[in-house]
Homo-oligomer: A and B are copies of this chain.
Amino acid sequence: MPEQPLRLTRQRQAVAEALENVPDFRSAQEVHEMLRSGGSTIGLATVYRTLQLLADHDQVDVIRSAEGEASYRRCSGSHHHHLVCRSCGATVEVEGPAVERWTRATAEEHGYADVSHTLEIFGVCRRCSDH
């Protein structure tokens, strides 16, 4: 089945661009606020719909905070994980071939197929440790 055409709209460009301009995770509501502050008249629902769309197409990473709020971040394309500062939110992308191998092997050992995984690392970054 051919996938339906995706129209390039002002709003979609704006959302994608907003994420391009920040290094860390932003919630839908934050993205909305960023855009409105910048003069856009984009609706909150559109932001939600666009972010979801971007996530479906692997254009952004998604994480869920412990409070249940989803946050989005532009991603480099390759598979990686995030090291997030608990205090200020500063994020570093990290890769770990060893972890990839280990998760796959462990899953298959237990008879699980079609393996995927999520891994987030939390800590306090140097700047925040130093007060």
Contact = CB atoms under 8 A, between A and B. Distances in A.
B129 A123 contact: no
Interface in A97-131: 98-99, 102-103, 106-107, 110-126, 129
Given A68-B64, A107-B83, A118-B118, A112 B94 contact: no
How many monomers of this chain does the complex have? Answer: 2
Contacts of A54: none
Interface range on chain A: under 10, 10 to 19, 20 to 34, or 35 or more?
35 or more
Contact of A115 (B69, B107, B119, B121): B121
Contacts of A118: 118-120, 122
Contacts of A113: 123-124, 126, 129
20 contacts: A62-B66, A64-B66, A68-B70, A83-B106, A83-B110, A85-B112, A98-B102, A107-B123, A112-B121, A112-B123, A112-B124, A113-B123, A113-B124, A113-B129, A114-B124, A115-B121, A116-B121, A117-B120, A117-B122, A119-B119
